[in-house]
A and B are shown apart, each in its own frame.
Chain A
Amino acid sequence: SQTIHQWPATLVQPVGSPLSLECTVEGTSNPNLYWYRQAAGRGLQLLFYSIGIDQISSEVPQNLSASRPQDRQFILSSKKLLLSDSGFYLCAWSSAKNIQYFGAGTRLSVL
């Protein structure tokens, strides 16, 4: 069966520090991968999606970047965090069946 792992679960970082959040998927190949941000326990904002290795699309301009160095690995990064980067970050994957499956999320607090 397929599983998705996302870590860390919680992260507290100072303003100006770098960020690296990692997401890996097991049990499937060539998945579509997604990064979302959820503010204040409400709506989801799609940040990046990827249909293959090194194929990343950005949905909104921001202080973040994404990379997909391996088929089932998706990384969210920042060189210098801003206060506004605080939020709940969710990774997801999907196959041809259209359903997206989500990781447990990372709660990022930038102080």
Chain B
Amino acid sequence: AQSVAQPEDQVNVAEGNPLTVKCTYSVSGNPYLFWYVQYPNRGLQFLLKYITGDNLVKGSYGFEAEFNKSQTSFHLKKPSALVSDSALYFCAVRDQTGANNLFFGTGTRLTVIP
């Protein structure tokens, strides 16, 4: 069975500093990995995905994620955090049995402090 884990419920970072939101995964075979962001009382917005290819994936709003097969990780990063980046972030892995179902992590709340 596939799953993702987000070990941090909350991440605080000062504005302008780099940020990292952690995600580890467990799958058999090659993973399809995703990051989504959710602002208060809104639906999830797609940020980026890893299917194959370069381990560093670039996405929306200046975010990027690094796929590390040996560590089974897919951490979300941004070089310089903005206050507007404050939101709830979800990592997800695709169900390999079909229907494009996604298994989501429990989410990490990012707060960027001015």
| A complexed with B | yes
The residues of A with any CB-CB pair to B shorter than 8 Å are 6, 32, 34, 41-44, 46, 49, 51, 57, 88, 90, 92, 94, 98-105, 107
Assess whether A105 is in contact with B101, with CB atoms less than 8 Å apart: no
Ordered by A's residue number, 13 sampled pairs between the chains whose C-beta atoms are within 8 Å are A6-B43, A41-B88, A41-B107, A43-B104, A43-B105, A44-B104, A98-B100, A100-B46, A102-B36, A102-B45, A104-B43, A105-B41, A107-B41
- Does residue B90 face the partner (Cβ distance < 8 Å to A)? yes
- Does residue B63 face the partner (Cβ distance < 8 Å to A)? no
Give CA–CA (A32, B99) in the complex, Å: 7
The residues of B with any CB-CB pair to A shorter than 8 Å are 32, 34, 36, 40-46, 49, 51, 88, 90, 94, 99-102, 104-107
Give CA–CA (A40, B86) in the complex, Å: 17
Chain A residue with minimal CB distance to B6? Answer: A43
Give CA–CA (A94, B41) in the complex, Å: 21
Chain A residues whose CB sits within 8 angstroms of the CB of B36 once the complex forms:
102
Give CA–CA (A105, B36) in the complex, Å: 15
Assess whether B44 is in contact with A102, with CB atoms less than 8 Å apart: yes
Chain B residues whose CB sits within 8 angstroms of the CB of A44 once the complex forms:
44, 90, 104
Give CA–CA (A73, B49) in the complex, Å: 26
Give CA–CA (A103, B88) in the complex, Å: 16
Assess whether A100 is in contact with B100, with CB atoms less than 8 Å apart: yes
Nearest-CB distance from A11 to chain B (Å)? 13
Asked if A46 meets B49 with Cβ closer than 8 Å, knowing A41-B88, A105-B43, the reply is: no
Chain A residue with minimal CB distance to B104? Answer: A44
Nearest-CB distance from B2 to chain A (Å)? 13
